[in-house]
Structure 1
């Protein structure tokens, strides 16, 4: 009976991990260094202890010092990394650095692939997201009645049907676009990556911008890759410290409104914009994506007119079809990574 139970348990374990076996078939990954650290942040004295003071576990002053606005960073440096440009990969809304690690169906993600190609890779969690933590003060204030519930920030999170449309998997759930590159059978795994977005409770200027600039400076210059919500983050990081940002990759986001003075600074940094397929085909987001690419094309034109190197890589026009908003997880994700690395290699002088 014990033997049968073990066989059943082994079969269940094999089924549960079958989507992720591919990630272990890539051969040894030899690194010079790997680890994690925090950048940025500040200490504030705030309301943190709201438990029952009669309980010894909570018999402390209501206010105490905590760290806020910091950014967690995970990194890997290959043995040959000293001769290659570092990449900083920034995730979008409602996600974390997991975006760039193994794909939902277990294939190699951009983070590992770039390392295997010789690039040091740094993967942060945005300030207020995942391992970077967030400031809980306002929730404690509401609990104690010091602040009205209406003051609570809005939590942003993406559900399955919204993601299906926004990420352009099909016209509407559960339809699938012909030729789709996303591993749709792993949608459940993608759903598990979703994290509530607390950016609404951040200060007026998102601390992630300055934290990215500090990170780029710490690694002696890097290519910043932003996606979706964070597609414009590299621009603001560069305006904070342009000498540390060697290149910008902006993937399917809302391009910022910039002054001529800001354009002059950004024109010194090679910038690549990347858009996938089906931009005008999903039921709801087709009202958004064409405007997004038009706005970013206008930015390409301004950067080019100012003497900069900027290019719009609209993948179908380059003969690459079926890509979604989550192209770093698409079945041809490594082809897109090659496109990015090749463009940067030709246009960034390290």
Structure 2
């Protein structure tokens, strides 16, 4: 795993923030917006937090395992070659809920890639350029083992932290909460891929002082995106944590 850290001259908050990206992305998604505005990484650093931005194994600056690709090349046997997928702009437009179909915007959409009439090509090009192949398909062991182990190692190194995750990284966060009790002091899920929490996971989340689920707009009535299924699962997770005596909040925001 690659970690880019920022430490302000004046640290005014005791707990650092670890930011973990989602599918098809790298830590770049926390660093700047497609239209060049400040990202959350520098925003929180300016406000006195130490910030650790992750590229998890198989992605971005962490690199991927080229061995299975080379083996397929030299043996002329592609049966074991992993699939490297990358989300295109059309799919991202719908998944990120900029509009209900390709380059058709939702009314009042605030994403800079979109305008009232459709695509802002210059900014959309920068947005699309943030996407990379999901190279963790080359890893052995698989990402469901490798990524949580890497996050655990980072927590062991820097100590108690706020863990902020996006999308795919939601399930990795569940592992971190269970695997490093006492080190995750706040858990922030930004439209995470929430799974159904086991009794053990709920018990682990109960020990986290604050759990926050954040979801944006244009969720209801948009079956082509993952927004509604994720909101439903994260709402269930929030309810289960609170029912067990934990402290979880779900916020709906317009980004």
Confirm or deny a common fold (TM above 0.5): yes
Q: Secondary structure at the match of 2:19?
A: strand
Give, in angstroms, the shift of residue 128 of structure 1: 0.8
Secondary structure at the aligned position of 2:5 is classed as: strand
Q: What is the alpha-carbon root mean square deviation over aligned residues?
A: 1.6
1:275 paired residue among 204, 212, 215: 215
| Moved segments of 4+, more than 6 Å | none
* Superposition pairs of residues 239-250 of structure 1, within 5 angstroms: 239-250=178-189
Cα deviations by residue, 1:113-142 (Å, 9 ceiling, x for unpaired): 000111000001011111111111111111
Does the 8 Å contact 2:166/2:192 carry over to 1? yes
Paired residues of 1:223 and 1:246 also in contact (CA < 8 A): yes
Residue 306 (structure 1) aligned with residue 244 (structure 2): yes
The number of equivalent residue pairs is: 244
Matched, 1:220 2:159: yes
TM-score normalised according to structure 1 size: 0.67
1:154 Cα deviation after fit: 1.6
Deviation, 1:281, is 4.3
Q: What's the offset of the Cα at 1:293?
A: 0.9
Residue 172 (str. 1) matches residue 101 (str. 2): yes
- Is the Cα contact below 8 Å between 1:213 and 1:244 reproduced in 2? no
Give the conservation status (yes or no) of the 8 Å contact 1:226–1:232. no
Corresponding residue for 1:163?
Answer: 92
Alpha carbons of structure 1 residues 206 and 190: separation in structure 2 relative to 1, 3 Å: farther
> In 1, are the aligned partners of 2:174 and 2:201 still within 8 Å (CA)?
no
How far, CA to CA, are the matches of 1:172 and 1:283 in structure 2? 11
CA distance in 2, matches of 1:246, 1:238: 9
CA distance in 2, matches of 1:283, 1:297: 17
Shift of 1:246: 1.0
Contact 1:209 1:237 in 2 (8 A): yes
Please, which of 191, 203, 208 is the counterpart of residue 264 of structure 1?
A: 203
Distance 2:189 2:218 in 1: 18
- List alignment gaps of at least 5 residues for structure 1: 1-70, 316-320, 324-350
Structure 2 CA distance, aligned partners of 1:134 and 1:141?
14
